[in-house]
Chain A
């Protein structure tokens, strides 16, 4: 599957990046391709382009605070999970995506 994701957390210091790492790591293991945009204290990084979003099979929001620029995802299939779920049990996030 081709997946795009956005991660964020209350202070934007740590969990945003931990979640991104977990999603990337797990996607690779499961044979998916993934691009993760981080919305942390350094602002938006690895930003998803319209093309990234359009061509994705699914979108994951692992967000501790509301995702910025959500209008980009209008019409996409979005799975929203708490950011800590993506860190603690990333495999289950992908399982839910498959359902």
Chain B
């Protein structure tokens, strides 16, 4: 039996999907062969390594050839896997793209200083003495090179693999994080790969090789094959094979425990030709100031792990082996540069850089405590979409005011059986604790259809998006859902918890669901189990029929959360996963905006709260629209919160309401796009400056440092997209002639394509700083940044007036004497703005 399909993953058939397919195929006795027609390659599906070696890329035509006694059931299971699990294998796993720093972006202050270059793959700055890991080459050959007997060599190999397996199991038991455990599992599936073992053993018996030689030659073959892949992501899997082979070789040599030399004694910059994820875990992150790898990897598991652990890392660093042990190093893993024995200037640059970055994160924490508010004081809660307690903690740190939606189905995705009530409760209590008193909306299972889970085997459907999913299957799987509802009611006794149901199409469904909640509540009361009886009940609004029946739904529901992704595709009858029709699903299409408006109007008329939790909520460009429409809350990914809040603080709701009105009248998404663009370039929409762009007593000691400090503030609010590029533009302008003036003021400025919104940032210095050689010190600096193609003449007019006003001593004095950041903003906007309106 042949199962034909087109390979669906953009990163190709890499380690994780390969090991998933391997696991699925290994459940059956029959043979399963993976054939890639596009590349003329094939593999036994029981071997992860063989699957990797097919070099399968996105869009390749593939066949699973199934032959043998349980072929029928294998076919059914694999069909299900290929259609419904495989396409989602990478969902939510590539959240952090590799950062490739260009050399051109190196700031002037660092040019000319001798440095090693590489690729910044895990951002941060690390300072410390150089420490080489495992300088001596590791054993590759058996010491005496002899082969005692083939059967003995085979046994040695089996024992070594067993040992590696045990080591990995030990690391897994030691409480690995989600990221590291996924990596360790991939390594385990390579170590225990049946094809690897078969080929090594063939080398031993037929080729009369030692276990070491056979393994080296087989793993070398695999690495070479993978190196020929088109996808760089797949090419880097060769590193995984090498890492696992090294580990087995170490076990063969009889080395115990960790293969490399001990951890550094003090906080150090660790340097290695390459490092496996296990070795990094074993080193202990508290002693690693930064990591330098000679091998050029950007998506390898050690890199992914470094990012997860927050260790700055630069890879592909040629000549790193010549860095002198114990000498001081500065590793800039934002820009991909490394300095040994740094000069005074470089040291000063990074001292400033570390201060600026530290203050930037302090600002983030400070602002995290401020509620989401527009410039003119309108409230818009900013919540977070989460699926784990860790994400909730990140969200709280970043300033989430609540958990707008906790996606329970993702938390239990990897299981074989549905979670029990106690398992639910354990997770929810952890979430309640992580949220530190903030409200949490638990969304009940949204499974089935396009979101299959192992623990609920549902038959494949013609139209999964329109099928048997979410609340539609709650009746049939009553006990699974009741366990969840009971746990939510119990968790609600310990914190502000709400319950939300997905995919509701009609009031009748809500009545059924409320009855179910009621039954659970009565049962809990009868059993004498502590719970909260009156948990608020809400629904997702993601089906057009729910939009049309809002008046009835309001009678039965306490709150609403609009799911813009699904609503957009149901409204347009277009699958957003389908490249050819995706454009119809725009989040700003007028039909969707009118749906929002209807939902908001009906709900607000009856005093009900409405949030938005689709991707649209996190799109900065859409914010004025969503603010103007009148949502009560936007729920976004935890990392997007600080920028969204900053962006919100710089706009006026009073200006956004007419904008929303205009957008609702537009005939198409592209018209809405144009209206939005025009809006942002008006003054008053996004203010030229705000209190977060003012520093009253900067500690900067040089022009360069001061400019970087001001630019970091512009960067916080999403007003520029590259600090280094805008800095260079400002310095180029300074090159023509200095903008410093006699009276202790400087007015640096630039036009740059890296500026998104016209902005003014202001700094007063605690001690005067010399602007450039031979010039008097400055105490007051106004940095003006303008987009390259600015048609925003009203903004320019205010800036022109500001420039004129600055020629008057009383205005400068007022700026110098202002006691708060808000007063400075007012002086600039009010004074310059009102004078701009006057004829001169």
Enumerate chain A interface residues (CB-CB to B < 8 A): 10-11, 13-18, 20-22, 24-25, 38, 40-42, 46, 64, 82, 84, 87-88
Contact = CB atoms under 8 A, between A and B. Distances in A.
Q: Which one of B736, B749, B800 has the highest number of Cβ atoms from chain A below 10 Å of its Cβ?
A: B800
Contact of A11 (B742, B750, B807): B750
7 contacts: A13-B786, A14-B800, A15-B747, A21-B805, A21-B808, A42-B797, A88-B741
A84 B797 CA distance: 20
Interface of B: 733, 736-739, 741-742, 747, 749-751, 784, 786, 790, 793, 796-797, 799-801, 803-808, 840
Given A42-B793, A87-B741, A88-B741, A10 B733 contact: yes
A17 B736 contact: no
Given A14-B747, A18-B806, A40-B800, 13 more contacts: A10-B733, A13-B786, A13-B799, A13-B800, A14-B784, A14-B799, A16-B803, A17-B800, A21-B807, A21-B808, A41-B751, A42-B797, A87-B741
A82 to B, nearest CB: 7
Contacts of B796: 13, 40-42
Contacts of A10: 733, 736
B736 A14 contact: no
A87 B800 CA distance: 14
Contact of B749 (A13, A84, A87): A13
A46 B799 CA distance: 17
Contacts of A16: 800, 803
B357 to A, nearest CB: 29
B804 A11 contact: no
A38 B786 CA distance: 19
A18 B807 contact: yes
Contacts of A87: 741, 807
Nearest to A10: B736
B835 to A, nearest CB: 11
Nearest to A82: B737
A82 B750 CA distance: 19
Contacts, number: 67
A38 B796 CA distance: 13
Nearest to A45: B800
Contacts of A64: 736-737
A88 B737 CA distance: 12
B800 A11 contact: no
A14 B739 contact: yes
A88 B807 CA distance: 10
A35 B54 CA distance: 77
A42 B800 CA distance: 9
Contacts of B747: 14-15, 18
A14 B737 contact: no
A97 B379 CA distance: 59
4 nearest A-B pairs in the assembled complex, by CB-CB distance: A21-B804, A17-B803, A17-B800, A14-B803
Given A13-B796, A14-B747, A41-B796, A22 B807 contact: yes
A84 B736 CA distance: 11
B1 to A, nearest CB: 70
A37 B807 CA distance: 17
Q: Which one of A17, A22, A24, A82 has the highest number of Cβ atoms from chain B below 10 Å of its Cβ?
A: A17
A31 B191 CA distance: 91
B735 to A, nearest CB: 10
A48 to B, nearest CB: 15
A15 B750 contact: no
B803 A18 contact: yes
Nearest to A23: B807
Contacts of A46: 840
Contacts of A11: 733, 749-751, 786
Contacts of A88: 741-742
Contacts of A13: 749, 751, 784, 786, 796, 799-800, 803
A82 B786 CA distance: 24
A39 B796 CA distance: 13
Contacts of B801: 17
Nearest to B758: A13
Contacts of B738: 84
A17 B737 contact: no
A42 B749 CA distance: 16
Q: Which one of A13, A22, A25, A88 has the highest number of Cβ atoms from chain B below 10 Å of its Cβ?
A: A13
Q: Which one of B738, B793, B801, B803 has the highest number of Cβ atoms from chain A below 10 Å of its Cβ?
A: B803
Q: Which one of A14, A22, A40, A42 has the highest number of Cβ atoms from chain B below 10 Å of its Cβ?
A: A14
Q: Which one of B738, B747, B804 has the highest number of Cβ atoms from chain A below 10 Å of its Cβ?
A: B804
A48 B793 CA distance: 21
Nearest to B790: A41
A20 B803 CA distance: 10
Contacts of B803: 13-18, 21
A20 B806 CA distance: 12
Nearest to B737: A84
A25 B840 CA distance: 12
Contacts of B749: 11, 13-14
B304 to A, nearest CB: 43
Contacts of A24: 840
B807 A25 contact: yes
Contacts of A17: 800-801, 803-804
A21 B801 CA distance: 9
B42 to A, nearest CB: 62
A22 B801 CA distance: 13
A24 B840 CA distance: 10
Q: Which one of A15, A22, A38 has the highest number of Cβ atoms from chain B below 10 Å of its Cβ?
A: A15
Nearest to B800: A17
A21 B747 CA distance: 15
A67 B363 CA distance: 45
B804 A18 contact: yes
Nearest to B729: A11
Q: Which one of B737, B742, B797, B808 has the highest number of Cβ atoms from chain A below 10 Å of its Cβ?
A: B737
